[in-house]
Structure 1
Amino acid sequence: MKLFSKEQIYEGDQLTIERQKISSTDLMERAGTQIFNWINLRMQGAQVPIHIFCGIGNNGGDGMVLARHLILEGYNVKTYIVNYSDKRSKDFLINYDRVKNITKKWPEFVHNQDDFPEIKQDHVIVDAIFGIGLNRPVADWVKKLFIHLRKSKAFTLSIDIPSGLQTDSIPLDDDCVVLASYTLSFASPKLVFFLPKTGKFTINWEVLDIGLDSEFLTNTNTTFNLIGKYEAIPIYIPRDKFSHKGQFGHSLIIGGSYGKMGAVTLASRGALSAGAGLVTAFIPKCGYQVLQSSFPEAMVITDANDDYITNVEFNFSPSVIAFGIGVGVNMKTVEAFKVLLETNKVPMVIDADGLNILSNHPHFLELLPEETVLTPHPKELERLIGTWSHDFEKLEKAKEFSNKHKVVLVIKGANTITVFENKFYINATGNPGLSTAGSGDVLTGIITGLISQGYNPLSAAVFGVYLHGKSADIAVEDYGYQSLIASHVIEYLGAAYMDLFKQPETSSEKHKDDA
């Protein structure tokens, strides 16, 4: 799914108006009607008080359209105008007059704290105060209104974006942003829904189709893309009935040190479970029995050293090499890594201590094959690209790093973001259960196994992150967040593959299952 920028959304609105020969008021009517349909479907006429807070711009105009439809449908609606400016948009005024024409309960003006209404926990709040056009701090009394709404603990529905949240910056004060239970976003979700410092302002979101010009939606290129099931399906490469293991490559997993053989075991299992034809683990001698007994499907080569890797030698041609999982940073290991980089010609995936070695020896970056996949967690990323003051700066630095070194950068997090060639791919799967030891090792293995089969490194990274998260989403239904461990992600990887082609249940099938 494309994530349109603020400027692109404005362009899409204007093109829709021109090509469909409608007015901006007509487009606003579509938006407000879609919000009404969403609410009406769920509330089914329930007489819970609905408090609609409208700004005096176009977001407030959407709120006015919604208020009119709810009033005409007989809902218990109270509408407020948050009067933060003397300026009003044309379409807001048109829809304000339309509300006045259908009810004697005219919208109430809110000018300061004395005008705040009482809101109870079982009420509903609709936030239509500020839209994506906000580019300045909110007034102090508006901030107090936001705090008042939050303290009510009522279900809060934001229109397009939680008010106070800007599309391209981080709030300086969390109290200056509405905390939305749900956000109904037009055209596409907003990038800020997926970043650590801004995603917390909406618990859930959904995109509403307001009929923007189809050519604009299809042909407009976006810098950010959200990867869900329907974006993952085209990446998948099916297998031929007569295929054999030799067609799916040979993954070489290099890592491990004394006490850290579990990481290599998990990565090796991840690679084979992702579909690699063959997997060989290159490890220090102390891990031989561990690998051979715990994962008999893998082949094993050992270093001459007992406790850590000192010299990487193998007598076959791997399809892909993963390096760094549990490997440590002993100077002999560092030297072995350098020699490997100087001689290697196949794709690579680098994680964990491999990333730390690159950070400590940045000239090694020049030795990486193009499109090497790096999979850092936040601290490892910081060591690679330097510190950042906010999420937008982090993304910009990550893009510059990826372009400079021609690497695929996988920024692990709640919504893992893959960066390559000025494009960002935001993952939609995964859950807090992945916050557990070894889950990153499994991801490294999965990406390695996909490259082994013939996926290009970018596709392997994007698809691998999706499968990793989806496997955890399926597994968590059985184990819960706290009890999910990395091995479960591997065990449910097959279910994640099968889910790609699982048809959604119809309402009648759900009813049959419930019965």
Structure 2
Amino acid sequence: MKILTANQLREADAISIKKEAITSYALMERAAKSALHWIVTHYPLSTPFVVICGTGNNGGDGLVLSQLLQEKGFVTLTYIVDHGGQPSPDFLKAKSQANPTLLVKNQKEISDIHLPDSGVCIDALLGFGTNRPTSGLLKTAIQFINQSKLAVVSLDLPSGLVPEFYPQLPKEGIITATHTLTFQFPKLSFYLPENGEKAGKIHILDIGLDADFCRACKTPYNVMTLTLAKSLLKPLDRFTHKGNQGHLAIVAGKKGSIGAALLAGKGAIHSGVGKLTYFVPECGIPFIQTHFWEAMVAPNCGDEHLQHLPQENYPTYAIGPGIGTHEETQACLKTFLSTTNSPMVIDADALNILSLHSDWLKLIPKQSILTPHPKEFERLVGPTATFEERLEKLQYLAKTYALIIVLKGAHSVIAVPEGDFYFNTTGNPGMATAGSGDVLTGILGSLLAQGYTSKEAALLGVFLHGAAGDLATVEYNPRILSASMLPDYLQQAFNQLEQ
């Protein structure tokens, strides 16, 4: 799914209004009805609602929604925070048709807003028209809402959050939403680490904007959705065999870090690879053969760290978990990159070695998948002050060397050589644990070995990895998740895609 800019969304509104020969107020009503539909499917009629509106179009959305809630039988209180400026025409029309509302005109009157001990506050103060930090009455109203005990449902965008980049935005001037009901398309700021957590759970509501215009809109930013993941998953051939399911070679481990190799293998085996071969130092072989009866192990790679790799070629490699940065291992990696032509997955210590030898980046086979976490990425490209700058460097690296790069995080970003970004939507804080990335390396290598393109493997693999983590939290508190638990939930993750 695309992420459009605020300007593109305004243009989509205007074109939809023109082509459908409707008023902008009719579009406002459409947005409010879509929000109502979501609300009635998530909250019982006994839930009290407080709707707090600004004086722009977002406030108009709130007023129309308030009217609809009352017509449905919900007990609803509605407030207008008159924060100055010219009210929008559609807001004024909504106000003229709304049930009686209470007007808040100054900061002293904020305390007159009655918030019950339980229920839901609808945030309709600002929407996506914000382009600067909040102040004055608006900021006071936002802080008042944030201090309440109510669940907060923001319309389109949490008030105070800008739709795109604005890294220095003060957090105290932004609504902390429980849910954000965003219209038609997600907003970029939902997925940025500076303030993205303010959006809570994101729900994308269709309001029928012109499909032709939306399809034609150009944007480098996209969201990885369940629908896209389902479209990528290939059906299993009834007559397939292990040779068709791919052969992955995992190059991993050193003395003291064999666990990383085991985790990568578990990720690979549980995501469908046909055959698995390990390149590990001699000290790791007993652990591999004890844990994975399915795997083969190539001998003579070194005693306690990787010193050399066998000369025979394998179709697909995943290299890096736990290999360390010993000088002999560095030399081994250089030789390996220089003599291997097929795309591979490169992670962990292999990335750390590359950061010591930036000229080796040109040796990486095109369409390989790199999976750095933020620190590993900065070792490769240098420090970044903002996430916007990080994305610029990410795009440069992907384009320059024709690589697929997975920048891991709360919303892992997949950058492709064409210049596009895909923000993942699965995963949770419980996955912020040692070894989680090693499991991902195994999953990506497995999919690559099975014949998925590098882009397909990255998108699908990252989604499945996060989905497995989410499914694990159905059974376990995220605080106790460990990396070794994740592969056990890949079965359920695949089941979700096949439903």
For the criterion TM > 0.5, the same-fold answer is yes
Task: State the alpha-carbon separation in 1 of the partners of residues 355 and 43 from structure 2.
Answer: 54
SS of residue in 1 equivalent to 2:447: helix
Q: Among residues 280, 304, 309, which one is paired with 2:306 in the alignment?
A: 309
Greater shift, 58-67 or 76-85, is seen at 76-85
**1:293–1:43 CA distance, 2 compared to 1 (3 A):** closer
Q: Residue 110 of structure 2 contacts residue 140 of structure 2 at CA under 8 Å; is this kept in 1?
A: no
SS of residue in 2 equivalent to 1:274: coil
Q: Residue 322 of structure 1 contacts residue 448 of structure 1 at CA under 8 Å; is this kept in 2?
A: yes
- Quote how far apart the aligned CAs of 1:71 are: 4.0
2:378 aligns to what? Answer: 382
Task: State the alpha-carbon separation in 1 of the partners of residues 234 and 420 from structure 2.
Answer: 22
2:472 aligns to what? Answer: 475
**1:380–1:67 CA distance, 2 compared to 1 (3 A):** same
2:322 aligns to what? Answer: 326
**TM-score using structure 2 length:** 0.94
- Quote how far apart the aligned CAs of 1:44 are: 4.8
Cα deviation 1:447-500 (Å, max 9, x = unaligned): 001111111111101111111122222233333323332222222222322221
Greater shift, 138-147 or 257-266, is seen at 138-147
**TM-score using structure 1 length:** 0.92
SS of residue in 1 equivalent to 2:50: strand
2:482 aligns to what? Answer: 485
SS of residue in 1 equivalent to 2:477: helix
Task: State the alpha-carbon separation in 1 of the partners of residues 250 and 233 from structure 2.
Answer: 23
1:114 aligns to what? Answer: 109
2:407 aligns to what? Answer: 411
1:506 aligns to what? Answer: none
- Quote how far apart the aligned CAs of 1:72 are: 4.2
Task: State the alpha-carbon separation in 1 of the partners of residues 343 and 232 from structure 2.
Answer: 19
Note if 1:67 corresponds to 2:66: yes
Tell me how many residue pairs correspond in the alignment.
Answer: 496
Task: State the alpha-carbon separation in 2 of the partners of residues 468 and 98 from structure 1.
Answer: 49
2:283 aligns to what? Answer: 286
Cα deviation 1:324-350 (Å, max 9, x = unaligned): 110000111111111111111111111
**1:483–1:42 CA distance, 2 compared to 1 (3 A):** closer
User: Pairwise mapping of residues 50-65 of structure 1 onto structure 2 (< 5 A)?
Assistant: 50-65=49-64
Counterpart residue type for residue 144 of structure 2: H
Q: Residue 366 of structure 2 contacts residue 402 of structure 2 at CA under 8 Å; is this kept in 1?
A: yes
SS of residue in 2 equivalent to 1:3: coil
2:77 aligns to what? Answer: 78
1:174 aligns to what? Answer: 171
Task: State the alpha-carbon separation in 1 of the partners of residues 73 and 492 from structure 2.
Answer: 46
Task: State the alpha-carbon separation in 2 of the partners of residues 223 and 123 from structure 1.
Answer: 39
Q: Residue 113 of structure 1 contacts residue 144 of structure 1 at CA under 8 Å; is this kept in 2?
A: no
1:342 aligns to what? Answer: 338
Q: Give 5+ residue unaligned stretches, structure 1.
A: 503-515
CA RMSD of aligned residues (A): 1.9
Q: Residue 84 of structure 1 contacts residue 139 of structure 1 at CA under 8 Å; is this kept in 2?
A: no
1:399 aligns to what? Answer: 395
Note if 1:259 corresponds to 2:256: yes
Task: State the alpha-carbon separation in 2 of the partners of residues 125 and 487 from structure 1.
Answer: 40
Q: Among residues 244, 248, 260, which one is paired with 2:245 in the alignment?
A: 248
Counterpart residue type for residue 114 of structure 1: E
- Quote how far apart the aligned CAs of 1:42 are: 4.4
Q: Residue 249 of structure 1 contacts residue 318 of structure 1 at CA under 8 Å; is this kept in 2?
A: no
Q: Residue 281 of structure 1 contacts residue 298 of structure 1 at CA under 8 Å; is this kept in 2?
A: yes
Q: Residue 374 of structure 1 contacts residue 409 of structure 1 at CA under 8 Å; is this kept in 2?
A: yes
Counterpart residue type for residue 492 of structure 2: A
Task: State the alpha-carbon separation in 1 of the partners of residues 16 and 92 from structure 2.
Answer: 22
1:370 aligns to what? Answer: 366
Note if 1:239 corresponds to 2:251: no
Task: State the alpha-carbon separation in 2 of the partners of residues 115 and 293 from structure 1.
Answer: 66
Q: Among residues 294, 299, 303, which one is paired with 2:296 in the alignment?
A: 299
2:355 aligns to what? Answer: 359
SS of residue in 1 equivalent to 2:123: strand
Q: Give 5+ residue unaligned stretches, structure 2.
A: none
